[in-house]
Structure 1
Amino acid sequence: MGAACCAGAAVAGGAGPTSLLDGTIWGFVSALPIALYHYYPHVALGLVTLLAAATSTLYLAVVWLTPVTKTSSRSELSYVSPASAAPQPLPSLLDDAEEVQLSVVVPAYNERERLPIMLRETVEFLESLRREKRSLVQGSDEADANVAASAGEEHKDAQTVRKALYDPLETYEIVLVDDGSRDGTHEVALEFGREHGVEVRVVRLVKNRGKGGAVRHGVLHSRGSLVLFADADGATRFGDVSTLSRALAHILTPRGHAMVVGSRAHMVKSDAVVKRSWLRNLLMHSFHLLLTLLLRPPTPASLIPAFLRRKDGCARGEQRQRLPVQPEIKDTQCGFKLFTRPTAKLVFPASHIDGWIFDVELILLAQAASNLAMQSKPPCMPSQQGHGQGECKGLEGLALPIAEVAVHWHEVGGSKIALLTDSVRMALDLVVIRANYGLRRWQPPPPAL
Structure 2
Amino acid sequence: MTSVSLSLIIPAYNEERRLPATLAEVTRYLGERGQPYEILVVVNGSTDRTAEVAKAAAERDPNLRLILTPLRGKGRAIKIGVGESRGERVLFCDADLSTPIHEAVALADQVDQRHPIVIASREGSGSRRLGEPYTRHLMGRGFNALVRLLAVPGIQDTQCGFKAFSRDCALDLFGHQTIPGFGFDVELLYIARKRGYPIRELPVTWVYRASSRVDPVRDTVRMFGDLLRVRLNDWRGHYE
TM-score greater than 0.5 by the shorter chain: yes
Q: Percent identity at matched positions?
A: 37
Q: Is the 8 A contact 2:128 2:206 kept in 1?
A: no
Structure with higher Rg: it is 1
Q: CA deviation at 1:295?
A: 2.5
Q: Is the 8 A contact 2:129 2:207 kept in 1?
A: no
Instruction: Tell me what 1:357 maps to.
Output: 183
**Is 1:423 paired with 2:220?**
yes
Flag the structure with more relative contact order, 1 or 2, with Cα contacts below 8 A and sequence separation at least 6.
1
**Unmatched 5+ residue regions in structure 1?**
1-96, 131-168, 297-326, 371-399
Instruction: Tell me what 1:212 maps to.
Output: 75
Residue 200 and residue 269 in structure 1: after superposition, are their counterparts in 2 closer, same or farther (change >3 A)? closer
Instruction: Tell me what 2:9 maps to.
Output: 105
**Is 1:295 paired with 2:157?**
no
Letter in 2 for 1:243: A
Instruction: Tell me what 2:203 maps to.
Output: 406
State the secondary structure of the residue aligned to 1:349: helix
Q: CA deviation at 1:223?
A: 0.8
Q: CA deviation at 1:246?
A: 4.1
Correspondences of 1:263-278 after superposition (within 5 Å): 263-266=121-124, 272-273=131-132, 276-278=133-135
Instruction: Tell me what 2:28 maps to.
Output: 124
Give the one of 347, 364, 369 matched to 2:173. Answer: 347
Q: Is the 8 A contact 1:114 1:234 kept in 2?
A: no
Q: CA deviation at 1:103?
A: 0.7
Instruction: Tell me what 1:137 maps to.
Output: none
Give the one of 17, 31, 40 matched to 1:175. Answer: 40
Aligned-partner Cα distance in 1 for 2:204–2:230: 27
Paired residue total: 239
Q: Is the 8 A contact 1:226 1:341 kept in 2?
A: yes
The superposition leaves residues 335-364 of structure 1 with CA deviations (integer Å, 9 ceiling, x where unpaired) of 111110111121010111111011111111
Residue 185 and residue 129 in structure 1: after superposition, are their counterparts in 2 closer, same or farther (change >3 A)? same
Aligned-partner Cα distance in 2 for 1:336–1:271: 16
Instruction: Tell me what 1:202 maps to.
Output: 66
State the secondary structure of the residue aligned to 2:219: helix
Aligned-partner Cα distance in 1 for 2:80–2:210: 26
Aligned-partner Cα distance in 1 for 2:145–2:63: 43
Q: CA deviation at 1:109?
A: 0.3
Instruction: Tell me what 1:281 maps to.
Output: 137
Aligned-partner Cα distance in 2 for 1:421–1:194: 38
State the secondary structure of the residue aligned to 2:111: helix
Q: Is the 8 A contact 1:243 1:405 kept in 2?
A: no
Aligned-partner Cα distance in 1 for 2:129–2:116: 30
Q: TM-score, normalised by structure 1?
A: 0.50
Q: CA deviation at 1:215?
A: 0.7
Instruction: Tell me what 1:228 maps to.
Output: 91
Q: CA deviation at 1:269?
A: 7.8
**Unmatched 5+ residue regions in structure 2?**
none
State the secondary structure of the residue aligned to 2:110: helix
Q: TM-score, normalised by structure 2?
A: 0.91
State the secondary structure of the residue aligned to 1:105: strand
